[in-house]
C-alpha cells in the first residue's frame, strides 16, 4: 500500500463499537448506529446480537432471532483483538444467554465509555422471556455502564416509579437511576410528556440539566433512541464531555427526525443523512 492510501495516525478516526441487533428495514438497531457513527466521523464496528424482522402480516410485530452466543463471542474476540477500543454502545441484547456472553466480554476489558441504551422490550416478545431478559440486563450490564439512555418506559422500569408525567418526575427518575447505577443518565421524555418540547433530563450526580427541542410531530419515529445513544457514543469517542455529547446527540436526533423517511410501514424512520442541511437548530 502506498503512503498516499494509508490513513496516517494523525488523521485516524476515533473507533467505536456497537453491540446491537439488526433491524431489517434499516431504521433502528445496528443499521441506525452505523449510519450515525459514519455521519459523525467515527469508524464504526458492529457485533450483531440478533436479527429482528418486523412482520407486516402481524401488525408489524417483531420476529426475533438471537445470534448463537458462541458467534457473539467470536465477533467480540475478532473486534477486541483487532482494535484497542475504549468506547462501546450496547443496544438490543434480547436474551439472558446473550447478556451472559456480552457481560463476560465487557468485564474482561477496560472501557472509558460504555453507553447503554437499555432496550427492555421487543414488541411481540413473549412477556416471560422479556422479564428474564430485563432482570439480567439490570443485574449484569447496567452496573458496567458509564452512560445510560432510558426512554420513558425504561425510566419507569429502572427507577421503580409507577408513572412519569412531568419534567420533575423525569428528574426524579434520572436521580434514582444514577444512584442505582453510578452512570451518567439521559432520561428521555420524547413525545410522551405533554407540552410543545421534547424534553430529556441529563444527570451526572452533580449537574441536572433539562435539554429541550421543539417536538417534531407527536408520533415516535423509528430509530430515534438508537441514534441518540449512538451519537452520544460517537461524541464521547471523539473526546466530548458527557453533557456536550448529550447536547450534540439531541440536536442530531432532532434534525434526523425532521429528515425522516416514510415507507409502507406504519411508522417513519429517522434519517441520519443530510445532517447540517436543514434549518438551523
Q: Residues in the site for ligand PXL, rule: CB under 6 A?
A: 20-21, 23, 28-29, 52, 91-92, 119, 225-226
Shorter beta-carbon distance to ligand PXL: residue 28 or 193? 28
| φ, ψ at 27 (rounded to 5°) | -80, -35
Distance CA 149, CA 188 (A): 7
- The sign of the torsion formed by the CA atoms of 112, 153, 281, 231 equals positive
Shorter beta-carbon distance to ligand PXL: residue 146 or 227? 227
* Residues in Cβ contact with 169 at an 8 Å cutoff, skipping those fewer than 6 apart: 161, 163
For the CB of residue 11, give the shortest distance to ligand PXL in the complex, in Å.
32
Shorter beta-carbon distance to ligand PXL: residue 119 or 174? 119
Shorter beta-carbon distance to ligand PXL: residue 101 or 119? 119
For the CB of residue 148, give the shortest distance to ligand PXL in the complex, in Å.
15
For the CB of residue 280, give the shortest distance to ligand PXL in the complex, in Å.
28
For the CB of residue 67, give the shortest distance to ligand PXL in the complex, in Å.
11
The alpha helices in the chain, defined as continuous H runs, are 29-39, 69-82, 96-107, 127-136, 152-159, 167-181, 224-237, 242-258
Fill in the DSSP letter of residue 98. Answer: H
H, E, C per residue of 159-211: HCCCCCCCHHHHHHHHHHHHHHHCCEEEEEEECCCCCCEEEEEEECCCCEEEE
Shorter beta-carbon distance to ligand PXL: residue 37 or 172? 37
114 and 102 Cβ atoms separated by less than 8 Å? no
For the CB of residue 30, give the shortest distance to ligand PXL in the complex, in Å.
7
Amino acid at each position: 500500500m502506498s503512503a498516499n492510501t494509508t490513513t496516517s495516525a494523525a488523521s485516524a478516526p476515533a473507533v467505536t463499537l456497537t453491540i446491537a441487533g439488526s433491524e431489517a428495514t434499516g431504521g433502528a438497531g445496528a443499521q441506525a448506529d452505523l449510519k450515525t457513527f459514519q455521519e459523525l466521523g467515527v469508524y464504526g464496528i458492529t457485533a450483531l446480537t440478533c436479527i429482528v424482522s418486523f412482520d407486516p402480516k402481524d401488525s408489524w410485530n417483531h420476529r426475533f432471532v438471537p445470534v448463537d452466543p458462541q458467534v457473539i463471542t467470536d465477533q467480540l474476540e475478532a473486534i477486541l483483538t483487532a482494535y484497542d477500543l475504549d468506547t462501546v454502545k450496547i443496544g438490543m441484547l434480547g436474551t439472558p444467554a446473550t447478556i451472559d456472553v456480552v457481560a463476560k466480554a465487557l468485564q474482561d476489558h477496560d472501557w472509558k465509555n460504555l453507553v447503554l441504551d437499555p432496550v427492555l422490550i421487543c414488541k411481540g416478545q413473549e412477556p416471560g422471556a422479556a422479564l428474564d431478559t430485563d432482570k439480567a440486563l439490570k443485574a449484569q450490564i447496567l452496573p458496567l455502564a458509564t452512560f445510560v439512555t432510558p426512554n420513558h418506559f425504561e425510566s419507569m422500569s429502572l427507577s421503580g416509579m409507577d408513572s412519569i408525567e412531568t419534567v420533575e418526575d423525569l428528574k426524579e427518575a434520572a436521580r434514582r437511576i444514577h444512584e442505582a447505577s453510578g452512570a451518567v443518565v439521559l432520561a428521555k421524555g420524547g413525545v410522551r410528556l405533554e407540552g410543545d418540547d421534547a424534553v430529556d433530563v441529563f444527570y451526572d450526580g452533580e449537574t441536572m440539566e433539562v435539554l429541550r427541542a421543539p417536538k417534531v410531530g407527536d408520533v415516535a419515529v423509528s430509530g430515534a433512541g438508537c441514534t441518540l445513544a449512538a451519537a452520544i457514543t460517537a461524541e464521547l469517542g471523539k473526546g466530548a464531555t458527557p453533557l456536550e455529547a448529550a447536547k450534540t446527540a439531541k440536536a442530531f436526533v432532532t434534525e434526523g427526525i425532521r429528515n425522516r423517511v416514510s415507507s409502507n410501514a406504519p411508522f417513519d424512520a429517522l434519517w441520519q443523512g443530510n445532517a447540517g442541511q436543514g434549518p438551523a437548530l
